Amino acid sequence: MKPVPPLDGTLAMDSQTLAANAHDEGNVVNDQTPYAVLFPGSVKDIQNMIRYCAQNGIKVATNTGRNSVFGQTLAPGGLIINCRSLNTIHSITPNGADVDGGVLWMDLIKAAYGAGLTPAVITGYTQLGIAGTLSIGGLGAITSNRLVSQVDQIQQLQVVTGTGDLVTCSMTENTDLFLAMCAGQGQCGVITRAVVNMIPAPKLARLYRAPYATNDIATCLSDIRTLADRGGRPRGFDWVASVNTAGLNGLVCLWAAVLYNPNMPPPPTSVLMKDCSSTARTAIATDLPYLDYVFLVDTAVNCFKSGQNWDRLVKPWFNVILPDSGVDKYVGTLFPRLTPRDVSPTTFVLLAPLLRSAFTRPLYRVPSSGKWAWVCGVLTNSSLPGPDQAFADAMLARNYEWWRSAAAIGGTRYVEDAIPFSKADWQTHYGAATYSRFAAWKRKFDPHEILAPGAAIF
């Protein structure tokens, strides 16, 4: 092999860096030691190393926030590109934020707030990379049930393809590449820069919370549906969901938030909760500054990281998007059967309605009918630090069965999770036509088949 090209950044091959990159945040897939890890000092570094790897048949995986849980960012014997080292926020205006792919959502939210702006779609946890979430789709999980797809709220991407070319793409320029990168799991390129839609940032959030009995899931779903349908001003909530982080206690717990400015406070509870059950009508409200509100999940995870060894826990996460017509039965069957093994004290259980028409990118798979689709996540963590292969295997088998039940009613997988998919399963996931379109993009933009081997889609 020829020597690697000169670089502006660093190519690390020391044992400590390689060991840290032999597994991901999930600790489900282990011992996948790469040959080297690139911390690029420039986009040119990414181009040069991808060309080098293409010429030498070396696999390349990319990470940004490094939160993947099922080997999506690993490359045994190959190269890992850590995009976090390219993290400049170039500009923030009401027309959009121009950012490097390695920027974390949290950093963009903080930087934009001073200018009275906020990203149009915000994930629950915000220490996620912008390129990382765009590559899996990005699901808004705290500010809106309507603005929910992050890849539908970007204007432009800059991408290094599998041939090392640097290409700008959007819905009007190099559209194939743009669509291949939106929720494309990094199969066709590395996102180096993005223009993200911004909206005015509210100053405050009023958050209502109310736990329901596990045998009363139907009432909780019915209340959430009522509130989501009425969502937005002047009488409704911006965001409503069921979120649980308390083990099996309060497995279904209503969270409903109005985001507002002091000159236009929310209406009283009786108006907001009109037509809901007594549980919802007696929910307790808390007022929070907007940034404290959007960082609530970060606060919880930071706490888990410091006290519960979060980074070492085994995380066989499960996440599907269900059709409205099937959610009651699916969740009504699944949730009462959950055990402490499925739902440990650090496990998030999420159920949230998503406006289905907000998803237009072909690789972001959502159910095909209904006004609402429902994300259903059981983000199982082991109670003790891993690795624990027996636990991981049992949970992967569980996830596969749960996914099959979801797929049988028209549900889709949200690909941040850990479900052992065969190529046939990926074909089911994308549907025959979209899978063959995706495969054609893969052949065109990554002809040497070096990029993102971990997902094993093709």
Footprint of ligand FAD (CB under 6 A): 61-68, 72-73, 83, 101, 123-125, 128-129, 131-133, 135-136, 138-139, 141, 185-186, 190-191, 297, 301, 416, 452
**Shortest Cβ distance from residue 348 to ligand FAD (Å)?**
7
Residue number, 278 or 299, with CB nearest to ligand FAD: 299
- 3-state helix/strand/coil string of 230-284: CCCCCCCCCEEEEEECECECCCEEEEEEEEECCCCCCCCHHHHCCCCCHHHHCCE
CA 165/CA 289 separation, integer angstroms: 44
**Shortest Cβ distance from residue 139 to ligand FAD (Å)?**
4
**Shortest Cβ distance from residue 105 to ligand FAD (Å)?**
9
- Biggest CA pair distance of the chain: 72
379 near 297, Cβ under 8 Å?
A: no
**Shortest Cβ distance from residue 142 to ligand FAD (Å)?**
7
Q: How far apart are the first and last CA of the chain?
A: 27
Residue number, 184 or 326, with CB nearest to ligand FAD: 184
CA 332/CA 432 separation, integer angstroms: 31
**Shortest Cβ distance from residue 238 to ligand FAD (Å)?**
15
**Shortest Cβ distance from residue 273 to ligand FAD (Å)?**
25
Residue number, 100 or 388, with CB nearest to ligand FAD: 100
346-356: burial string, b at 16+ Cβ within 10 Å, e else: bbbbbbbbbbb
Is omega for the bond preceding 353 within 30 degrees of 0, making it cis?
no
**Shortest Cβ distance from residue 32 to ligand FAD (Å)?**
13
Q: CA separation (Å) from 209 to 202, 238, 242, 288, 427?
A: 20, 14, 9, 13, 40
Residue number, 68 or 219, with CB nearest to ligand FAD: 68
Residue least distant from ligand FAD (Cβ): 132
414-432: burial string, b at 16+ Cβ within 10 Å, e else: bbbbbbebeeebbbbbbee
Residue number, 37 or 141, with CB nearest to ligand FAD: 141
Is omega for the bond preceding 289 within 30 degrees of 0, making it cis?
no
